[in-house]
Amino acid sequence: MNLSTRAIAVAIAGELSLFGAAAMAAPAEPTPATSVATPAPESPVGPTPAPSVAPSPPVAPAAPAVSATPVSPPGTAPATLHSESPPAPMAETPPGAKPLLPEWMNGVTIGAGVLLWYYQPIVPRAPSVENNVSVFWARLLVDGKRGIFGFHLEPRFRDTPLRSTSTTVNGANVLTYTQNDHAWLQEAYASVDLEPLRAQLKVGKEYSHLGYFWDNSFYGNIQVYDGLKLDPDYGVSLEGAVGKSDDLLGLGYWAQYFIVDGSTNVSLPGRDTISVPGARRRNQTIFQVEPRLNVGGVTAALGISGEYLQADLPTLGPQNVWRAAVDASVTYAGAKILGELQHQDGRNVTDFPLPSTPTTPGSSANVDHAQIGGEYTYGPVTGRYYASLGSYNNIPLATGGTVTHKEWLHVIGLGIAISQNVSVLNELIFWQHDTPTSSVLVDRSYNLTVHAHL
């Protein structure tokens, strides 16, 4: 290596060393701030994340230093360094920091909630019933929207299975059925907006809509424990509206087809097809229309719906089940009055209200349901009373003839909204099962629930 080449190499090495020292002295790049979800009222759509905070651009490295002239070895003439252009920068100034969320997450919202339940039986209580505290569920809500396409995902979690049932063999209980072992999908569907129809098409697991959807209580009504309310199933659902919610006249409608049941409603063991071992609901088809009238602050709605399903019962074979429902509600300011009637033709279970025998089923092929009640909200406080009825008519007896069983469930509630994200609900429950010859207490209890959500 001649002296001129060696001198250039030493100069470049010096520049690299100085550049590295300057870079180490520069302040580190700020850490991006964490995005915080904006609290929102509880709804099927989760909260919208706040925009991420873009960090300041990092400080550019200092300019390279000018190298010194190297010393010639002894006995040689000093080398002459020719003037050269300054070296190119080692790196361009970094661009502004990238957004906190990747582009594909634009339109995605995430929420969460938990429902804590305290149960206290009231004397006289049902046999072997004690008080308890549990997390009824904790859940996540994930919603996404891009153009006309969207999705909804709601996983739920519990410490214990949602329900289990057992049967007695030689005096010992033998577990025959357990549902939802600690975690399940309540809803999970993709959707597309059909703008010309002002409708949305959902494909996946979504709630069925027969009759009035829900009365806003925690404990619920006879219908929910028979699998008729809050029942998500697998299929397609077309949901839309004619007119706006505040128009003088409007119309809501639902057209649904479910290939099979979703197996995750809160029906009690034996009271819906999903808890009959080996049974499924199939080909469930529902149509519902709900005309609405708005006059002077009063909103009146009338819902008319019909349903067909096939109850695939292993001991009886496929059963055709037909249902019809009519409901009416009137709301004004903070007050609401509600009434609903439902009728069912066909068997969807085998051993309720009576156990089956080798010659006769213990279920009814002629069932009526009803509920009536109302609520009033003043500020953060809501008072509520609802009564519901289940009438299981003409149950065949092994000895001949038929019998009718009835159940009445009364719910008295007082709810308090502590904040936008926390509410407390107190409910008194009186639930009775009546036969022509006896009356049995199903539940008499005080229920306190705390619902917190983001």
Strand 149-157 with 183-194, pairing? antiparallel
Helices (H) then strands (E): counts for the chain: 2, 18
Instruction: Please tell me the predicted confidence (pLDDT) of residue 160.
Output: 84
Percent of the chain with pLDDT over 70: 73
**Which of the pair, 177 or 98, is modelled with greater confidence?**
98
| Gap between the Cα atoms of 312 and 314, Å rounded | 6
Residue 271 in tokens: 């009271």
Which residue is associated with the tokens 């953060």?
A: 380
For 97-146, the pLDDT digits (tens) are 566 667 777 889 999 999 999 999 998 776 778 899 999 999 999 999 99
Residues sharing a CB contact under 8 Å with residue 2, sequence separation 6 or more, in sequence order: none
Give the mean pLDDT of 416-435.
97
Residue 65: what are its φ and ψ, rounded to 5°? -80, 155
Range with the poorest average pLDDT among 8-17, 153-162, 219-228: 8-17
Q: Say what the pLDDT of residue 58 is.
A: 38
The ranges assigned to domains in the chain are 107-453
Asked if 310 and 347 count as a contact pair (C-beta separation under 8 A), the reply is no
CA distance readout (Å), 46 to 42, 43, 109: 8, 7, 5
Query: For the purposes of burial, counting CB atoms within 10 Å of the CB of 379, is it exposed (0-12), middle (13-18) or buried (19 or more)?
Result: exposed
Instruction: Work out the average pLDDT over 162-186.
Output: 62
Residue-level pLDDT at 128: 77
CA 390 to the chain's CA centroid: 27
225-263, pLDDT tens digit by residue? 999 999 999 999 999 999 988 899 999 999 999 999 999
Residue 150 confidence (pLDDT) above 60 = yes
- pLDDT value at 382 more than 90: yes
**What is the separation of C-alpha 104 from the centre of its chain, rounded to a whole number of angstroms?**
22
98 or 29, greater pLDDT = 98
Any bridge partners for residue 201, and if so which?
192, 238
| Residue 337 CA to its chain's centroid (Å) | 26
Q: What angle do CA 65, 66, 71 make, to 5 degrees?
A: 125
Q: Which of 316, 403, 280 is nearest to 353 (CA)?
A: 403
Percent of the chain with pLDDT over 90: 67
pLDDT-derived band at 92, boundaries 50, 70, 90: low
pLDDT at 309 over 60: yes
What was the pLDDT predicted at 172?
A: 52
pLDDT given for residue 34 in this prediction: 38
Name the average pLDDT for the chain: 81
pLDDT-based confidence at 165, cuts 50/70/90? low
Give me the mean pLDDT over the 196-207 stretch.
Answer: 96
pLDDT band of 306, cuts 50, 70, 90: very high
CA 222 to chain centre: 22
Which tokens hold the place of 159?
């410490």
Q: Mean pLDDT across the stretch 337-347? A: 98
Class of residue 22 by CB neighbours under 10 A (exposed 0-12, middle 13-18, buried 19+)? middle
- Angle at CA of residue 332, ends 330 and 336, nearest 5°: 50
Mean pLDDT of 134-162: 94
H or E stretch including 330?
strand 317-332
Q: Which residue has the higher pLDDT, 267 or 72?
A: 267
Residue type, 103: E
- 164-172 CB contacts, 8 Å cutoff, 24+ apart: 164/269, 165/269, 165/270, 165/275
The pair of three-digit structure tokens given for residue 75, joined into one six-digit string: 């006995």
Give 99 or 198, the one with higher predicted confidence.
198
* 135 C-beta neighbours (distance < 10 Å), count: 13
CATH architecture of 107-453: Beta Barrel (2.40)
